[in-house]
Structure 1
């Protein structure tokens, strides 16, 4: 498609969809019916929990409801209304489970009803868990908008009846804090934006060869490999991020990438390097290497409570092992070649993680090279292309899809349409094997981004993938152009909420092409 034509096609798509599609929700719910009545939402709307088993002792719902009200007002001063009818005075939340543990596969379904009759008039949310209720509030917030003429919060097309649940339990976004440090406020902003499109896993690629920014109490010299004294995260910072995310229904997946991508480890502990002149991958022959991995995962287990930990395992260059005399001798004594040692390293690291209570995620090279040897609970993280997932699930292992040609956000030539149309179950027809694809993840690698441009590089393309991961396949648009008006509206909503989402027209983080309203960019 010629670049010059794309803005025009966006305009045509928006114009053709507005009249036909009045459901401006993103991601599209499982089931939606609505009417034609306009309601008004009291600026002092309240939340009740009549009939709820959940007690909200941690104020998860209370705080989420207040955030929703603040977002609906968009920092404007909504007027009181003296209308005697059609005023929603609150939302009643019925949560059936008293538990609030954010476990993998937690029930995220919900029912949302916005009636036009009632005294008082209340919207009703029913969910099995508090995390389904959080998604309901996100949907309700999208139904409401501040009207500048009436100075009221309005809700059109009532009554609404929405039944919703995610298609996949794992809907992830990766951030990379090794290539460029990201301040805590930036990470929290990413988490907030994730919740708007119902993504639920923040994959924190904390460490890589360039820097080791996080505190490890068991081995305090490791963060000597950070860029500077100010570009670091304490364990308290990590706890803060995890708690912030969990309160919003987002799990945090921590990653240490071993044995490659670990040059920074040796700044504090040089014995982790094969030698002073050949520094990657980590020294496979040294028991201290695995003691450090054990210490890291021990410290992680006290903070990162998600069921999974990511151990990387990709792009391992073993040439230092075969060039370094003491490692070469170790290989010979153990009757191993470099490939055997790579397998040994990954499997030994897996055993350490499992001992700390984790299930392990590894990048797909581990499966491609020795998949039959991986622990059977391993989740294989696809990234090289779109054909590995069918092989993984055929082997009986679980898979996360992130094929780089479609779902890598640092590929600025990857358009939102490509993100939208990337199907995780492509080539997988067996229902049992389909269930082994637990979801997908868009990846924001950090070589070319930092706090200055991360938001416009992520959004709105990540939201396009989010609908693919949330919405039932039969509800997804067969032609992405038919979803353009909804995504454009959602992108504008992100902007209004303070998220620097880039225009739809053009490639990743392209600037607006001319003056005009938000929805036409």
Structure 2
């Protein structure tokens, strides 16, 4: 582009050390961006293509309209040399497409936003108690009866399109198979997949209806789904759920109770452990690492693979307990990074300042070795009160604040200094990416600038 000064940035050279590097856990995303004082050329060096993508994103953010000259473009503060790398390897967003079906266009637009904010993980919470919208060819009734309607499903082409769109932008897609709880919709397609507990006092709360891990038929279906996810999602991680399992429904199912007696088991957390470890073995057999929600850790399940990762939503004390036990952890603190809160009853809205200030490991909380086990964090957008019409308003610009917290060093934490930067970026996302990112303070977006 031509600049207000006589100089013209005519060349951007990009040098990547490993052009074949795989996008996945631990991928090197560092880069160096250099622009000389005359701004005639820019150079990017990076270890992988994904670091180079981040460098080009940074370059695009350095370019803006020349408000002084009134026309043209400029890069201020030349010369520029930026050596940059993320603090955490896992920087993501959980999107829930089960409570409300989300159109592929909405998911792809959100991926565009992730890339603009150097976030690198879309955690796709595809199924839940309310619906099972993923097409499983070998078991057509799962989506045929478990989705809200047969029209609101994700087929293989949809999944491939999302994965390809994300990969081109340096974003991993991690699928979640939320089991054994939150599984009511599975039983709409095949009623013998879920526990039968008609006398359960809270049977109307479908979130409390679990799969039946004692039936081999359940494992036939799970095996098919695990194999499908391994083929459709190239990432080396699969999220196996494990949250909010209410055991009372298991206790009231006479067949499950008889199975427990035959095993000599009296504690239904043993059944949870049986499910978690057997499913984890299936996932590991596909060459994938397992992520579990924190409830599995809290239940004291034995026999978990040591490379299991726990996602912590209950608070930082739980995070510290996980890493003290030698496991890796992802923080999704519901008090700060559940972006649906304020729309959902029962949890309070988090301001962008709260999102920004949510430091995963304040000084003195963990040892240096334990801190290395905190691999990152995710904001979450649960969709009980979220659909295509309000996704952007709930995500942006608060997710930008989360993104900076996960990318930047701990000492980059001044809210006052961050405010103009995030306000400007919110306007930039509106103008460049078509994202409906709201304001964070009084002011306006001058569309001529972006």
The TM-score normalised by the length of structure 1 is 0.79
Counterparts of 1:318-337 in structure 2, within 5 Å, are 318-336=247-265, 337=267
- Cα contact 1:218–1:299 (8 A) shared by 2: no
Distance 2:150 2:135 in 1: 11
CA shift for structure 1 position 259: 0.4
Structure 2 stretches of 5 or more lacking a match?
A: 343-348
SS state of the match for residue 439, structure 1?
strand
CA distance in 1, matches of 2:44, 2:143: 46
Deviation by residue 1:79-126 (Cα, 9 ceiling, x = unmatched)? xx7x893111121111111314212111100000111237xx211111
The aligned counterpart of 1:491 is 426
* Distance of 2:323 and 2:64 partners within structure 1: 44
Q: Deviations over 1:430-456 (max 9, x none)?
A: 111111110010001111111101011
Question: 401-410 vs 268-277, which deviates more?
Answer: 268-277
Equivalent positions of 1:161-172 (< 5 A) are 161-172=81-92
Aligned to 1:342: 272
Q: Secondary structure at the match of 2:315?
A: coil
CA distance in 1, matches of 2:166, 2:327: 28
What is the alpha-carbon distance in structure 2 between the residues aligned to residue 370 and residue 295 of structure 1? 28
Aligned length: 427
Whether 1:381 and 2:316 are equivalent positions in the alignment is no
Question: Which residue in the other structure is 1:402 paired with?
Answer: 332
8 Å Cα contact 2:426-2:437 kept in structure 1: yes
> Could you tell me how far 1:276 is from its partner in structure 2?
7.6
Spell out the pairing of 1:247-396 with structure 2 (5 A cutoff).
Answer: 247-275=168-196, 277=198, 280-336=209-265, 337-396=267-326
Whose RCO is larger (CA < 8 A, sep 6+)?
Answer: 1
Which residue, out of 50, 73, 95, partners 1:131? 50
- d(CA) in 2 for partners of 1:87 and 1:355? 54
- What pairs up with 1:12-411 in 2 under 5 angstroms? 41-42=1-2, 85-117=6-38, 121-147=40-66, 150-224=70-144, 225-275=146-196, 277=198, 280-336=209-265, 337-411=267-341
Distance in 2 between residues matched to 1:415 and 1:469, nearest whole Å: 17
1:325-379 CA distance string (max 9 Å, x none): 1111111111123221111111111111111111100000100111554221110
- Answer yes or no: is 1:471 the counterpart of 2:380: no
8 Å CA contact retained: 2:98, 2:128: yes
Give the Cα separation in 1 of the matches to 2:174 and 2:273: 23
Q: Give the match's secondary structure for 1:256.
A: strand
Tell me how far apart the structure 2 counterparts of residues 282 and 382 of structure 1 sit (CA, whole Å). Answer: 23
CA-CA distance at 1:401 after TM superposition: 0.5
Deviations 1:259-318 (A, max 9, x none): 001111111111102238367211121011111111101001111111110011010111
* Cα distance in 1 for residues equivalent to 2:396 and 2:220: 40
Answer with 1 or 2: which has the greater Rg.
1
**Alignment CA distance shift 1:98-1:482 (3 Å):** closer
Q: Distance in 2 between matches of 1:138 and 1:440?
A: 21
- The Cα RMSD (Å) is 1.8
Distance 1:103 1:440 in 2: 15
